[in-house]
Amino acid sequence: DQQVKQNSPSLSVQEGRISILNCDYTNSMFDYFLWYKKYPAEGPTFLISISSIKDKNEDGRFTVFLNKSAKHLSLHIVPSQPGDSAVYFCAPSYNFNKFYFGSGTKLNVKP
């Protein structure tokens, strides 16, 4: 039951450039979308979220874009920093449930 897909297992970006992480979903009921970041040997931590009534949410270097018609969201990190190297999970929800996570994208930001 793959309702959430992050099709790029890994991404490598040069420091200072933009990182774009993508997430696709199939369930049109999803109405809230969260991104989590996970460092090795640590649990995921919340990064940024967006409601389905918006198409963009920005927080510092992090921006999430939502395209409901395409059932696609993306996380942009500008400029990318080596400390951003981590695994990023997309986690959509509906009816406030917290059950769905993507498989994650491992971002490597090279100095």
Partner 1 sequence: EAGVTQSPTHLIKTRGQQATLRCSPISGHTSVYWYQQALGLGLQFLLWYDEGEERNRGNFPPRFSGRQFPNYSSELNVNALELEDSALYLCASSPDRGEYNSPLHFGNGTRLTVT
> Residue 20 or residue 102: which is nearer to partner 1 going by CB?
102
Nearest-approach distance from CB 15 to partner 1, in angstroms = 27
> Residue 15 or residue 31: which is nearer to partner 1 going by CB?
31
Taking CA atoms, 71 is separated from 93, 100, 109, in Å, by: 13, 15, 27
H/E element, 67: strand 62-67
Give the footprint of partner 1 on this chain (CB under 8 A): 1, 4, 6, 32, 34, 36, 41-46, 49, 51, 89, 93, 96-104
Nearest-approach distance from CB 48 to partner 1, in angstroms = 10
> Residue 9 or residue 16: which is nearer to partner 1 going by CB?
9
The C-alpha atoms of residue 32 and residue 102 are separated, in whole angstroms, by: 14
